[in-house]
Chains A and B, each alone.
Chain A
Amino acid sequence: MSVDAPPPVSSHSEATLDRGRAVTPAELRWRADWIRLQTVQLIDQAGVGHYSSTFSCAEIIAVLYYHTLRLRPAEPQWPDRDRFLLGKGHVATGLWPVLADLGYFSAEWLTQFGKIGSPLNDHPNMRLAPGIDFSSGSLGHNLSVAVGIAYGGRLSGRDYRTFVLTGDGELQEGQVWEAAMAASHYRLGNLVAIVDANGFSGAGPTSAAMNIEPLGARFEAFGWRVAEIDGHDVVALTRTLDELPGPASERPICVIARTRKGKGVAMMEQAPQAWHLGLLEPKLREQVVAEISGRMRRW
């Protein structure tokens, strides 16, 4: 598959995208690298951005949006859609190309990223961008918001699921654990938290700053069902999300996706902190693009 090939799964803007859509692992791997490539482009436009944190969750975003979530891009407020909240809002550069590709807005919008007046910000704003179920940027809020949305599903009798993607550093926020308590108290089995456990926060290794492990045992102690997987293995991600208990189940689910910060770009994997926030100089950018593109031709 080439870098420039038409996206294998896209342009569904007229229809409902059902849960468990057919897609091959190769297509999902290609899509994850496409997200990385698009991220490099968007950060280049803006002049600064979060590379390595976006790269660690590229497979997660690819699997959710091209396989798992029930969506209706032409009707972003469709009440029965599955919700997705980007708790780690600083990786929105990985989401914007996906939402454009699925038809939430024109790809033309991407060219305005980083400019005053752009509806697409470095952190997502639900009032400006179709397809954003809740704004984020201040870490630790979105799991609470998701509890409210999941509870709303219970009240209204709708069978949507609510997914939240959190960072692992984000779990140091106390409010996350208030939400974790509330989710099991109210038996919200329609709520799925996916932790992009890349092991690093802004200033260094997450658990060196404040230990968050053993993460699985902690969520279990709070009453959650826990699955721990390789967050870059699209087959494991797909299977885990396919096998979620029905939304009527009574235990919230936490998928701990063990990932690598900077995944997919060798020099970033070696120095993930250095690329938490930054801008690739032109020569380095060419190397990074070549590395990702080369892999995409092989998928």
Chain B
Amino acid sequence: MVTGTQNVPAPKMVDVFSDVAIDTALATNPAGVAIAEMADADPRILTLTADLGNVLADFRQRHPRRYLELGIAETNSVSVAAGLATCGYLPYIFAMAPFGVLKCAEQIRTDLAYNHLPVRLVGRLTGLAMGIFGTSHHAVEDVAVARALTNMTVVTPADSNAVLSLMRSTVSHQGPIYIRIAEGAEPVYAAPPVFEFGRWLRLHCGSEVSLIGHGLGVGLAVRAAGELAARGVQADVYDAAFLKPFDEEAIVDTARRTGAVLTIEDHSEVGGLASIVAETVGRNGLSVRLDRVALPDEDLEVGTPAALHEHYGFTAAGVVAKALALTGRA
């Protein structure tokens, strides 16, 4: 939780196809749990998937007519959802991020974003969550693509409680939203946090180094902050749950406070949070030391999420090492 550190099991592969137990549990399928509950109260809500119906077990049981399976046809699912949205519905598309987002970039842009339609893309298996299956299954450019689209909102929950908050609080937002689910995220919040649209939550106060993460990066930042504190380094920690719109004021404030900013994300170093922060400090004329824990812009290795995270330094120890280097204490 935000106030402490703990031993966390290494991220495991998530089997969304055949593991029924994980589909109905808050810890493993918070978006599925959230949408079933939200749909009880809001008849506008529909769900669509392209062969990912297992993650909607609850929803399908409770609202069978409000679930559309489109088969392995992701682009069709996005445009069908756009049509439904013009009829007053709120379609949530549950998709494997590499296919549901990257493959459909043009449909998302042309049919959803340009038309300001309230369709939500719930991206499962983001980042390296399907790392063992090959580079086709990596989704590490999705934030860069989604945030380049005018009118898109991009949110990246840090854990299950954040998923609940971000899904509930954006239900009536007028435009399209990409909700990037971090699989197997360690708990960060003890209860659903309260987010203000477009603003980041400050999870730990410090003045020597800023740690800004999104998704899996938030849990790492919190744990790293605990380890840094034990070494006498106070970190300023933020949950960058909104990547579009993002919290410019938070970036400027923390950069001024610490003069050293480290971003942490399960995403390419191109176009994600690292870019957001660099663009913002540059535009504001701040002289700040920057570094990032992110995935390099090169052909990525294939392996389990835990092995890949270790390989690319996407660990609490990796965050601590880079934070210390930024503060000149390495």
A binds B: yes
Closest to B80 in A: A148
Asked if B84 and A134 sit within 8 Å, CB to CB, the answer is no
Q: Is A111 an interface residue (CB 8 A)?
A: no
Q: Is A155 an interface residue (CB 8 A)?
A: yes
Asked if B89 and A152 sit within 8 Å, CB to CB, the answer is yes
Q: Is B106 an interface residue (CB 8 A)?
A: yes
C-alpha gap A126/B117 in the complex (Å): 11
C-alpha gap A141/B86 in the complex (Å): 15
How near does chain B come to A181, taking the closest CB pair, in angstroms?
A: 7
Asked if A147 and B83 sit within 8 Å, CB to CB, the answer is yes
Asked if A175 and B76 sit within 8 Å, CB to CB, the answer is yes
How near does chain B come to A200, taking the closest CB pair, in angstroms?
A: 24
How near does chain A come to B42, taking the closest CB pair, in angstroms?
A: 14
Asked if A152 and B83 sit within 8 Å, CB to CB, the answer is yes
- Most chain A CB within 10 A, of B70, B78, B79, B91, is at B79
The majority secondary structure among interface residues of chain B is helix
- Most chain A CB within 10 A, of B80, B82, B91, is at B80
**Which of B68, B84, B107, B110 is the one whose CB lies under 8 Å from A149?**
B84
Residues on B with beta carbons closer than 8 Å to the beta carbon of A182: 70-71, 73, 76, 80
0/1 string, B71-110, CB within 8 A of A gives 1: 1010110111111111111010000000000000011001
Which of the four size classes fits the interface of chain B? 20 to 34
Closest to A148 in B: B83
Q: Is B257 an interface residue (CB 8 A)?
A: no
How near does chain B come to A133, taking the closest CB pair, in angstroms?
A: 7
Assuming A178-B75, A181-B71, is B106 touching A144 (CB within 8 A)? Answer: no
The majority secondary structure among interface residues of chain A is helix
- Most chain A CB within 10 A, of B76, B82, B86, B88, is at B76
Q: Is B114 an interface residue (CB 8 A)?
A: yes
0/1 string, A206-248, CB within 8 A of B gives 1: 0000000000000000000000000000000000000000000
Asked if A145 and B82 sit within 8 Å, CB to CB, the answer is yes
How near does chain A come to B65, taking the closest CB pair, in angstroms?
A: 7
Q: Is A166 an interface residue (CB 8 A)?
A: no
Q: Is B116 an interface residue (CB 8 A)?
A: yes
C-alpha gap A145/B101 in the complex (Å): 17
0/1 string, B54-76, CB within 8 A of A gives 1: 00000000000110101101011
**Which of A145, A178, A181 is the one whose CB lies under 8 Å from B111?**
A145
Residues on B with beta carbons closer than 8 Å to the beta carbon of A134: 82-83, 86, 111, 115
Contacts A/B (CB < 8 Å), 24 sampled: A125-B114, A127-B114, A133-B86, A134-B86, A134-B115, A141-B107, A144-B80, A145-B82, A145-B83, A147-B76, A147-B79, A149-B83, A149-B84, A151-B68, A152-B84, A152-B88, A155-B87, A175-B76, A175-B79, A178-B70, A178-B73, A179-B79, A182-B73, A185-B71
Interfacial residues, chain A to chain B (CB-CB below 8 A): 79, 125-127, 133-135, 137-138, 141-142, 144-153, 155-156, 175, 178-179, 181-182, 185-186
Interfacial residues, chain B to chain A (CB-CB below 8 A): 46, 65-66, 68, 70-71, 73, 75-76, 78-89, 91, 106-107, 110-111, 114-116
